[in-house]
Chain A
Amino acid sequence: MALFSAPKTHPLHSKARSLRLDILEMINHAGFGHIGSAFSSVDILISLYNSKLFNFKKDRFVLSAGHLCASLYAVLADTGYFDKEELFTFAQFNSRLQGHATIDTPGINYSAGSLGQGLSYSIGLALGDPKHHVVCLSSDGEHNEGQVWEAIMAANKFHLGNLISIVDYNGCQIGGTTQEIMPLDELAGKYLRFGWTVTTVDGHNFYELARVLKKSKDSSIYPACIIVKTVLGKGVSFMENNCQYHDIKKLAPDLFITAKNELQRY
């Protein structure tokens, strides 16, 4: 498995390019946004929402890491939940697209922002509706929160084969690398020892993402975890793996043009 290869042959690759451009425009227009994790997570969301594996009218998607909502907004607009023009209202007064994900946005089931709660919420959903799947997306830094471990423990107890926890493992959080702030070390092994099935995957390879999502959905007895190795700021060279791009205000005009040019060639 070639990590971070982003093969351009996949039919979804053009979406990966155009939605990154949408995210850049959206965040720059708002003068606010968590661009690093929006770029690290967008391919996961494209895979999920363009897959026939899930029917999100019945299955549920929970974004636990509410700050990376810009990528979800771009994907939901692309999927037809609302018009793409609405992306330019992101984080503005009276907008349905709040600065952190909320149920005001068509297609979003959970209002988030305070980290660590979404996996527990997903357990409640999975217990209450065992016939459908629940897919929860959290971030690696979010695993600093003790509540995430309470949830990881509980999912195993309740044998939630209909629960999938996807972790956007981009290695950065607000104040530095996850290794520096609070080392997660071998996160896959930790989930495994808590009784989950675990798969690690290249988060920018659509072929791999599709394969792993299918495999995880088929895990019928155990909750499934997908550790998605991603690159913070993926697609823009000066943002990649640069924790300073965890969140931004307006980009300087020359940086904006550089970013746009690079993404057009993505």
Chain B
Amino acid sequence: MSSKDTKLASMRRAFGEALFALALKNPNLYVVDADLYPSLYLTDFKARFRSRFIQVGVAENNAAAIAAGLSATGKTVFLTSFACFSPAINWATIRQSICYNHHPVKIVGSHAGLMSADLGASHQMLEDVALMRTLPNMEVFAPIDASELKMMLPVIAYSQTPAYLRLVRPDTPLVNSARSFTIGKSRFLKRGDKITVLGYGPILTQLLLPDFDKFSLDIINCSSIKPLDDKTILTSIKKTGRCLVIEDHQQNGGLGEAVAKLILTSGQKCKFIHLGVNNAFGQSAHNYFDLYHHYALSPLAIRESLKKLLSTHAHS
């Protein structure tokens, strides 16, 4: 997305491979799957670790509470499905059996966002981050690419907190150059001093287009959505006085709201634009670029927003 020679890679494949590698080292690592393991590249896991692969069928509530029970016996448990089913269908089970009972189950929701273009609105989960970040004890992560996911997975696996991990369907640009991942820490993708850009997931890679170099962007990858790296974000905003948040998610309940609250609470003055889906469902399209264009999340909309942010001085 950022340029023609950018390499693409599948976040889902990276997940399947990284989990397989973790399971080789950890005999207590289990998968509870709601019949979507091929889509999460867990076919090898299933074949190799038969007794640690619990197939519960298309029953996401059952899956979530079984995962919680397994976790209570000391297992490291990954609950795998699509985001539109888990954590959507089973939110109340996650709330009670996982969060309220303090079981560090790792909920993996794939196919999130408009990126699941042809599948249509039912599958284009745009509310998962909102659902998960409101839950006490729950941490929320969304890698920007396959490379970051591989850094992230072992860290999340051994954290003693329930976590939600948001994955996307298509192959997406490899842009991560970080060698490690820390919960609650964000990463700069680019340094600048005019506008702070915040986001998570592959949609943020659009900001790396050469066209945007002239805007002097401070681009921060907020892959740790909760806990959020308040300090890095506020330090950048203090410098720029302008903030653009972009996410492949509803504006309601998303990262933008978390950041807006952070800024208002800090007392800093800041011009603020939030790009996300505005109280609407998605729809089918041949590719997600068309959807990003329709829902004002494309490079065109980004350019307009950046111009608008620069049009008057933040502190005037």
Contacts and interface: CB of A to CB of B under 8 A. Distances in A.
B57 A121 contact: no
Interface string A79-122: 00000000000000000000000110000011111101110111
A117 B97 contact: yes
B312 interface: no
B68 A121 contact: yes
A165 to B, nearest CB: 14
Contact of A154 (B56, B67, B100, B102): B56
A127 B73 CA distance: 9
B101 interface: yes
Interface stretch (B58-66, B157-165, B196-204, B273-281): B58-66
Given A114-B92, A147-B65, A124 B59 contact: no
Q: Secondary structure at chain B's binding surface: helix, strand, loop or mixed?
A: helix
B12 interface: no
Contacts of A111: 96, 100-101
Given A128-B73, A154-B56, A123 B101 contact: no
Contacts of A112: 96
B104 to A, nearest CB: 13
B72 A128 contact: yes
Given A127-B66, A154-B66, A120 B61 contact: yes
B71 interface: yes
Interface in B24-78: 30, 32, 54, 56-57, 59, 61-75
A126 B65 CA distance: 12
Interface string B158-199: 000000000000000000000000000000000000000000
Contacts, number: 92
Interface string A116-147: 11101111111111000000000000000011
A123 B61 CA distance: 13
Nearest to A147: B61
A30 B161 CA distance: 34
B96 A122 contact: no
Nearest to A119: B65
**Interface core residue of B59, B66, B102 (most chain A CB under 10 Å):** B66
Given A114-B92, A147-B93, A120 B101 contact: no
A128 B65 CA distance: 13
A251 interface: no
Contacts of A110: 97, 101
A150 interface: yes
A236 B56 CA distance: 43
B66 A120 contact: yes
Contact of B62 (A114, A126, A128, A150): A150
A123 B66 contact: yes
A45 interface: no
Interface string B69-105: 1111111000000000000000011011100111000
A151 interface: yes
A125 B96 contact: no
Interface of A: 102-103, 109-114, 116-118, 120-129, 146-147, 150-151, 153-154, 158
10 contacts: A114-B96, A117-B61, A121-B65, A121-B69, A121-B97, A124-B69, A125-B69, A127-B66, A128-B71, A147-B61
Interface of B: 30, 32, 54, 56-57, 59, 61-75, 92-93, 95-97, 100-102
